[in-house]
Each structure stands twice: as C-alpha cells, then as structure tokens.
Amino acid sequence: MASTVEADMRMCGRKARVTVSMRDDGNLDVSMESDCEVVMGYASRLKVISPEDVYGFQGSRINRDDIRGQLTPTCLVPNAVYSAAFLELGMATESLARKCGKNSVEYVFPGDGNEIL
C-alpha cells in the first residue's frame, strides 16, 4: 500500500502531494505532484530512497543539497517525504495519522494571544 501526504505551503501559495511506496527490494519509491516547478525539479531527483534515508537526517538523500536544488529551507515538501515514508515503513501508524489529520507550522507574534508559554 502506498502512503500519501499533502503539503500546503501558504507562504508561497503552492501545494504538493507526496506518495511513498515500498518496493520489493526494501527501498521506497517516491513520487510527487505539485504546481511548483522547483518542487517538481526536486521530485525528478528524488525517485528512490532507502530506509536509512528515512531513519537518518544528516546523511539522507531527502536533504542533500544536490537533491534539494533550489528548494528553500522553509519548504515543507522534504518533511512531507519523511512523513509519508514514516507511515509507509510503519514508523507511524495509520490510526495515529488519521487521528492527527495534519501537522502544522504557525507563525506566532507577541501580543496576539496565541503564545504557548
């Protein structure tokens, strides 16, 4: 079964859908759909990842500069790849993903009343 995650990058107004599926050899196929040319360039360079790419961060192909290309550091697509891969590898459960629905990043400004602490 394939695992799919969507990234909605409101800052730039772009969206992406990332699908990760297990291969018979233990690696993972990665496919992406997006209305962003930069994300689609990233997608063309990141077709297959290994479980080690998912477990680790520093040495991961998901984060390598030559794979990321022109993606900005704030782009959520690499995180969507990790999230879909975690689900596909069983490192996150479908029930937890369904319960959470989504993860989010929100901007917090002093005095707006939405401070956590």
Residue pLDDT, tens place only, 75-84: 999 999 999 9
1-47 per-position pLDDT tens digit: 899 999 999 999 999 999 999 999 999 999 999 999 999 999 999 99
Domain-embedded: residue 110 = no
Quote the pLDDT of residue 15.
97
Domain-embedded: residue 8 = yes
User: Any idea which of 18-22, 38-42, 48-52, 107-111 has the lowest mean pLDDT?
Assistant: 107-111
Q: How confident is the model at residue 114 (pLDDT cuts 50, 70, 90)?
A: low
Q: What is the CATH number of the domain that holds 90?
A: 3.90.1010
Kindly give the residue spans of alpha helices, DSSP state H, lying in 1-117: 37-45, 51-55, 65-68, 77-88, 94-100
> Domain residues for 72?
3-100
CA atoms within 13 A on the CB side of 74: 11
Name the burial class of residue 10, with classes exposed (0-12), middle (13-18) and buried (19+) by CB atoms within 10 angstroms of its CB: exposed
Residue among 76, 101, 63 nearest 7 (CA): 76
| Maximum alpha-carbon separation in the chain | 53
Domain-embedded: residue 105 = no
Using the structure block, give the residue that is written with the tokens 């961060």. Answer: 57
Residue pair 30/16 in contact by the 8 Å Cβ criterion: no
Quote the pLDDT of residue 1.
83
Number of domains in the chain: 1
Interatomic CA distance for residues 20 and 18, integer angstroms: 7
Domain-embedded: residue 115 = no
- Judged against a pLDDT cut of 70, whether residue 55 lies above it is answered with yes
Domain-embedded: residue 41 = yes
Interatomic CA distance for residues 60 and 99, integer angstroms: 28
Interatomic CA distance for residues 49 and 27, integer angstroms: 6
Domain-embedded: residue 11 = yes
Domain-embedded: residue 13 = yes
Domain-embedded: residue 114 = no
Instruction: Give the mean pLDDT of 49-73.
Output: 95
